[in-house]
Structure 1
Amino acid sequence: MASISSLGAGSGIFSADLVDQLVAAEREPTVQRLNLKQQRTEAMISAYGALRSAIEALKAPMEALSSADGLKAFTAVSSNESLGVSINESEVSRGNYSINVTQLAQAQSLASTSFADKDSTAVGTGTLTFNVGGVSTDVVIDGSNNTLQGVADAINDAGAGVSAGVVDTGSGFRLVISSDETGLDNAVQISVADDDGNNTDAAGLSQFVFDGVTSNMEQTVEAKDALLEINGIAISRATNTVEDVVAGVTFSIAETGTSTVRIEQDAGAVAERVQEFVDKFNALQDVISNVAGFNSATGQGAILSGDSTIRNIQSSLRGLLTTIVPGMENGDVRILGDVGITTDPSTGKLEFDQSVFKEQLKEYPDQVTMLFAEQDGVEGIAERAVNLVTDILGSDSALANRTDGLTDVLDRIQDQRDQLDLRMDSLRERLVRQFSAADSLIAQLNSTGSFVAQQLAALAPQNNQDS
């Protein structure tokens, strides 16, 4: 770029400010045009983004209703707080159950005789063998752990299915061994290979024997299974969590006694899932109205008013609302209107009468399920909606193509800005060259004029003398 630091020095006419003003005047119309185009393009991208977000929000509730499990909801009520009930909705069915718990499951506990000290009194050496639940584990006791606390630590480190601790009774110390799990199958048997040569006496390591024949340990808590009756049927389990007796139901017992458990279908919970779909659909209509609506009073349309992509999306979604699922043409439930979902023609929004839905779900549960979810290879309305929305949001969809096209427009606008900068740089250089030449010429003319004036001034006195 030519220097303009002395521009105008010869004439006082052509200045750097004048060049800046001429360049700015040339630039401004194009800048304004590009700014307006960019603002509109960005507004359209934002509008498509809002539309995409609203469609994505619609997908989740439709997915929840697209499987038969989504049309199931159950509630479990126990008459006794000590009997907890949890359910798996995909497996459970309605039912009433009378529960009588007569015995809780217990983990077995054993206690040794008393020792004078837990850290210094020798208890013998050899090998303790624990058999719990059919699994045997050996624990070696030698000179490094030949104390009550040493035995307890060795047992805990062995992973034998039991835990051990030392209890201070006030008159001595006792080793306490407890099964990690409840139930008869987890009862503990302890055999000993005692280094003193006698494996069953009450001396040395054999004082910890409890093998079903010799009981040198005291059983302080007996191993027990949980015993209960469900509708008069006797049940036993190794734990107080009773599963797989009633399909999809888990009972958690904390006390003995009787309880009544009622498993009922929760139509309200299913209706709330449908309500979520209705709410998301209506939210989508609001977005469409905001970005593509037309105000007849003002004659103004929104940024995407008349957009064919949005019209096609609306048309496809509305078409689903009146779909009759194949095989349901003669059913009591055929379309969404039959389960309380209707369309307000003035707004395009859905209205949902939950009382109608709950009544139809109670009366025709299979047909309501078939209306929404896929059954026997036949797609329900929700399943079709999920597929439609997936296509609308796809990377090669019309919506994606429109957004990609607008992003390309922004790239071209930036290219045009870059080209404008180059043109303005070129214009500035040309103006500087032209103004510099004109300035030089004016400076020469000014110099010549000054010389002529000086010469005329010098001739004036001589002319006056001659006269």
Structure 2
Amino acid sequence: MSGISFMGVGSGLPVNDIIKATLEAEAAPLKRLEHDKKFYESQISGMAQLKSRLSSMGDAMKDLQGLDKFQQLAANSSNDKLFTATADHVAGATAGNYNIEVLAEARSYRHVSGELSTTDPFSGTLTFFEKDGTTPLKDSNDDPITIDTNGKTLDEIRAAINSHEGLQGKVSANLVNTSETHARLVLNADESGEAGRFTANFSDATITKDTDLSSGEFQGLAPVAESDPGYDAYKEDLANNLDARIKIDGIEATSSTNRFENVISGVTIDVTAGASGQSESVGGLEVKRDDTAIKDNIEAFVKAYNDVIIHLNEAKKGSLYGDSTIRSIEGEMRNILYSPTEGEDADDTQKNFLALIGIEVFVDKSYDPKNPSSRNGTLEVDSAALTKALDENFDKVAHILGSSKKLDDTQPSGYAERFSDLATRLVSGGVQDGQSYKGLVQIRTEGLGKEVDRINDKVDSTNLRLELLEARLVKQFSAIDGIVAKFNSTGSFISQQMAGLPGYTK
């Protein structure tokens, strides 16, 4: 109660203490309810953490689905100053060794004018053509690209070129000042290689006279001996060719950029900037199975599984001890773990257990029932056994772990796919036989939430009942206090009257 209370003054009874003691006795169930609420909330927190672990496992396992995740190749260059390379098994790369000779790097075409006035206006039209010199470059409306130079200064011509929508991504212009009144107009192809080559025709006689447009000075390596017929023509063509050029085991290939894709099936070769200036022009390329990347994927598989198992073991030591949901999840994890990936036949299937490729279950031999190890039931990788499995039966390792019915319905579901599906089923449910269903963790979390709501409702109703009880007690004791006060007052009055009677003595 709030305010100043004078209850008990009339009766002399400790009314406030009586009411307080009564309310405390009636409020005793609230402590049990609060205890139960904290317990359920700790279970909800445990379920949330379990959901997070299962979701992480599902995501990790999803990234490991597909045979390609366990069939990775590495492409190694013996000379990174010449080239680097990558290999993709899915794109068709296979193991092999190659000699790569870098003949030339890709360059961008450059059109350079003679010295032109930077102050005098020009006249005429600047027209752009493809590298054949006759086919006009066209804009998005299929119109030939031209620049009207009438009345424009050289800098205004440069700005008009750079702002022309049809030339965006094709040609850019700059000025190189050679004096206070003269400059050279430099047109650069934005796309490298022969694919970016163009020609520009100035109809202005002055510009035409002063402009000797060329691709600049280029250097290249002739692939034939000087004594061979056609050497001079080939050398000239080589010097002016803008494409990157390499030889793969003597077979020449070209690219408009310094990247050569799929020249070797599934392999990408990148010519290093400055490779043409190296004293050595030949390097070795080795494409081989990338055991390091494959083992990293297997470690990711093991870690994703272990994170869930360790959390389950820890949860059993706390508020989720004995929880049926935990036992159900453990059972489903074990069922998958001890079910081999389907093989070609029954005999082959029995060869598809994780233990047969070096992934074993850790068993705590010094088991303490009061404090069991959180690592019990986790997976461990026997590196020697795994290396042997990769060396002797690599396809079997990929099949056991990465085969995916979802990606290829001719394959069974490997361990990664089955654990991913389990995580999804436990966390968010799905659809089965046309009916949607909730995940086990979701159902349990919702059930615990309802228990908390029930307790909150009971606490609210108990507090309301206590408020009403307090009001009733106050009213009742106030009435009693008033009656007793009246009795005391009447008794005092009678005593005073009797005291005035003759012969009265106490």
TM range (shorter): 0.7 to 0.9
User: Matched residue of 2:495: which SS?
Assistant: helix
User: Which residue is equivalent to 1:419?
Assistant: 461
Aligned to 2:305: 281
Report the Cα offset of residue 418 of structure 1. Answer: 0.8
The residue that corresponds to 1:392 in the other structure is: 426
2:79 match: secondary structure:
coil
Aligned equivalents of 2:418, 2:305: Cα separation in 1: 15
Q: For the structure 1 residues 308 and 109, does the alpha-carbon distance in structure 2 shift closer, same or farther, using more than 3 Å as the test?
A: same
The amino acid of 2:459's aligned partner reads R
2:385 to 352, 356, 359: 356
The alpha carbon displacement at 1:157 in A equals: 1.3
Q: How does 1:238-253 map to 2 (within 5 A)?
A: 238-253=256-271
Specify which of 213, 217, 220 is matched with residue 213 of structure 2: 217
> Which residue identity is paired with 1:163?
S
Provide the C-alpha distance between the structure 2 equivalents of 1:170 and 1:81, rounded to a whole number of angstroms.
43
Please say if 1:377 is aligned against 2:393.
Answer: no
In the alignment, structure 1 residue 311 sits paired with structure 2 residue 327: yes
Of the structure 1 ranges 51-60 and 97-106, higher mean CA displacement relative to structure 2 is found in 51-60
Matches within 5 A, 1:220-239: 220-221=216-217, 222-239=240-257
Aligned twin of 2:496: 454
Is there any run of 5+ residues in structure 2 with no aligned partner, and where?
139-144, 218-239, 365-375, 430-437
| RMSD of aligned alpha carbons | 2.4
Q: Distance in 1 between matches of 2:388 and 2:11?
A: 96
Runs of 4 or more above 6 Å deviation: 1-4
Q: Paired residue for 1:173, among 163, 178, 183? A: 183
| Contact map agreement 1:2 1:429 (CA 8 A) in 2 | no
**Partner of 2:155 in structure 1?**
149
**TM superposition shift of 1:444:** 0.6
Deviation at 1:106, TM superposition (A): 1.9
Match of 1:212 in 2: none
Q: Is the 8 A contact 1:186 1:223 kept in 2?
A: no
Provide TM-score, normalisation by structure 1: 0.86
Is this contact kept in 2: 1:2–1:432, CA < 8 A? no
Deviation at 1:264, TM superposition (A): 1.5
- Shift in CA distance, 103/344, structure 1 to aligned 2, threshold 3 Å: closer
SS in 1 for 2:311: helix
Identical-pair percentage: 31
Q: Deviations over 1:247-284 (max 9, x none)?
A: 33221213231111111111122112212222232232
In structure 1, the gaps of 5 or more residues are: 195-202, 210-215, 294-301
Aligned to 1:330: 347
Give the paired residue count.
Answer: 434
Counterpart AA for 1:368: V
Q: 1:388 to 1:218 in 2, by over 3 A?
A: closer
Q: Distance in 2 between matches of 1:54 and 1:324?
A: 24
Contact 2:115 2:210 in 1 (8 A): no
| Letter matched to residue 204 of structure 1 | T
- Report SS of the residue matched to 2:309: helix
Q: Deviations over 1:188-229 (max 9, x none)?
A: 2112444xxxxxxxx3354477xxxxxx43442445222221
Q: Which range moved further: 380-389 or 415-424?
A: 380-389
**Residue-by-residue CA offset, 1:13-41 (whole Å, 9 max, x unaligned):** 254454233212321x1111101211211
Q: d(CA) in 2 for partners of 1:128 and 1:2?
A: 95
SS, match of residue 355 in structure 2: helix
- Is the CA contact (8 Å cut-off) linking 1:51 and 1:288 kept in structure 2? yes
TM-score (norm 2): 0.80
- Aligned pair partner of 1:435 in 466, 469, 477: 477
